[in-house]
């Protein structure tokens, strides 16, 4: 957790804690904070051990993310495949378009979507605006 903090950030946090708690109460506040952190970690370990025992498989803290938990423990392989099939189709379409662009090939449907409308059609499609009103 502290791996993302640099030296200046840690020093700033220590000085802030010193100003908030004072030099007399700072050691007690740090020890209380560490006790709370140990209790939270112990509760998390107990929860994962209970879940592992109930599910009959090893559960890690990463598995407790709701999406991962549902995918890993509640859905069968067929249900997972059915949920991921539209994403696989989308990824295939994106790869096909990327390959076409790399090769300089455009499909007729893609060209029809990308060609801009003629200037007369574009002016007719735009609503008339009053430049003084805006």
What is the distance between the alpha carbons of residues 34 and 42, in angstroms, rounded to a whole number? 12
* Whole-number pLDDT of residue 111: 53
C-alpha closest to that of 71 among 83, 58, 86: 83
Number of folded domains that form the chain: 1
Predicted local distance difference test score (pLDDT) of residue 41: 92
Whether residue 46 lies inside any domain: the answer is no
In-domain check, residue 104? yes
Q: Using alpha carbons, select from 2, 24, 38 the residue that is nearest to residue 13.
A: 2
Residue 107 lies in a domain: yes
- Asked if residue 91 is part of any domain, the answer here is yes
* Any domain includes 108: yes
Determine, yes or no, domain membership for 27. no
Tokens of 63: 């598995």
Q: Within a domain: residue 105?
A: yes
Q: Which pLDDT does position 126 carry in this prediction?
A: 63
Q: So what's the pLDDT on residue 12?
A: 93
Residues in CB range of 115: below 8 A, 6 or more apart:
none
Q: Is residue 15 part of a domain?
A: no
Q: Which domain holds residue 104?
A: 76-114
What local confidence, expressed as pLDDT, does residue 76 receive?
72
pLDDT at residue 67, rounded to an integer: 77
Residue entry with tokens 């295939």: 92
- Structure-token pair, residue 104: 């300089």
Give the span between the Cα atoms of 68 and 81, in whole angstroms: 15
Question: Ramachandran region of residue 22, left (φ > 0), alpha (ψ -120 to 50) or beta?
Answer: left
Residue by residue, pLDDT tens for the chain (134 residues) are: 556 778 899 899 889 988 998 989 989 998 999 999 999 999 988 988 888 888 787 877 777 777 777 777 666 777 777 777 777 777 887 887 777 666 665 555 555 555 555 555 555 566 667 777 76
């Amino acid at each position: 957790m502290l791996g993302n903090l640099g030296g200046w950030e840690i020093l700033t946090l220590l000085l802030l804690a010193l100003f908030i708690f004072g030099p007399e109460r700072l050691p007690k506040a740090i020890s209380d904070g560490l006790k709370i952190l140990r209790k939270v970690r112990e509760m998390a370990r107990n929860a994962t051990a209970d879940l592992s025992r109930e599910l009959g498989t090893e559960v890690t803290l990463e598995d407790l993310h709701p999406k991962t938990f549902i995918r890993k423990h509640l859905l069968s392989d067929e249900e997972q495949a059915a949920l991921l099939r539209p994403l696989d189709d989308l990824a295939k379409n994106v790869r096909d378009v990327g390959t076409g662009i790399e090769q300089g090939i455009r499909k007729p449907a893609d060209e029809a979507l990308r060609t801009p409308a003629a200037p007369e059609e574009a002016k007719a499609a735009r609503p008339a605006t009053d430049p003084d009103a805006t």
